[in-house]
Copies of this chain bind each other. A is one copy, B any other.
């Protein structure tokens, strides 16, 4: 997904589908739970239920990693934990910096889920001079003037951005220039990065809006049954000064599913 589109599936041949990669952490978490309860083996059916996915999908996902199961028995939990961890690169230590230690940044710094896997908070960085030296989650906050030095000295390749939206792109640019090649962005902005840098974003507002869309639909389904034949919806336009054609121009009342 990230690179290589008009080329041969060079990365695809040995590569794992992006959708599968996104599910591996899910499997890993379920397997870790089983491991802690000393369960020796699991079937694809059981594990799929624990991870909340289809069992066929899980088996296909695992097939990209190799044949790690035993027919008639299932998968060895410990072995699979190791294989997935290795595939995800969690057998090594990943130093991470968090930039922007406000409400969210502080919460992230305090989050125990970082260290539970191979991630280590190498540094907390903020532009506010008043925060410099102040410990958050036991780690002293450093000023953003030293960002480049911090990145290079700690060999950081993963950065988390929790600054206000306006500061996100400049911070991103500095992180990338300093050598960071993976960014997790919490600021509600589209980040522009050069080729080879991965960006993933977490946007609470977008999630809520998606939920609202479906929520509206659920609420509208009841009313829709009543006024099913009502076609022309008198759209009340707020603020817009331009006159437009009405919606639902040639939309069939019932969509051909």
State the A residues within 8 Å of B (CB).
1-4, 6-7, 9-10, 12-15, 18, 21-22, 24-26, 28-30, 50-52, 65-68, 76, 78-79, 82-83, 86-90, 92, 94, 96, 103-104, 106-108, 110-111, 113-114, 116-119, 157-158, 181-185, 188, 190-219, 231, 233, 235, 237-242, 244-255, 257
Copies of this chain present: 2
Across-interface contacts of A76 in B (CB, < 8 A): 240, 242, 244
Is the Cβ of A10 less than 8 Å from the Cβ of B231?
A: yes
24 inter-chain pairs at a CB distance below 8 angstroms, sorted by A residue, are: A6-B235, A7-B235, A12-B255, A12-B257, A18-B251, A21-B210, A21-B214, A25-B205, A25-B206, A30-B190, A51-B190, A52-B192, A76-B244, A78-B240, A79-B244, A82-B239, A106-B107, A158-B208, A182-B211, A190-B249, A196-B218, A201-B252, A202-B202, A202-B207
Is the Cβ of A245 less than 8 Å from the Cβ of B194?
A: yes
Q: In the complex the two chains form, what is the Cα distance from A80 to B13 in whole Å?
A: 38
Q: In the complex the two chains form, what is the Cα distance from A99 to B30 in whole Å?
A: 24
Measured CB to CB, the closest approach of chain B to A9, in angstroms, equals 5
Measured CB to CB, the closest approach of chain B to A50, in angstroms, equals 7
Is the Cβ of B214 less than 8 Å from the Cβ of A2?
A: yes
Is the Cβ of B182 less than 8 Å from the Cβ of A89?
A: no
Measured CB to CB, the closest approach of chain B to A46, in angstroms, equals 13
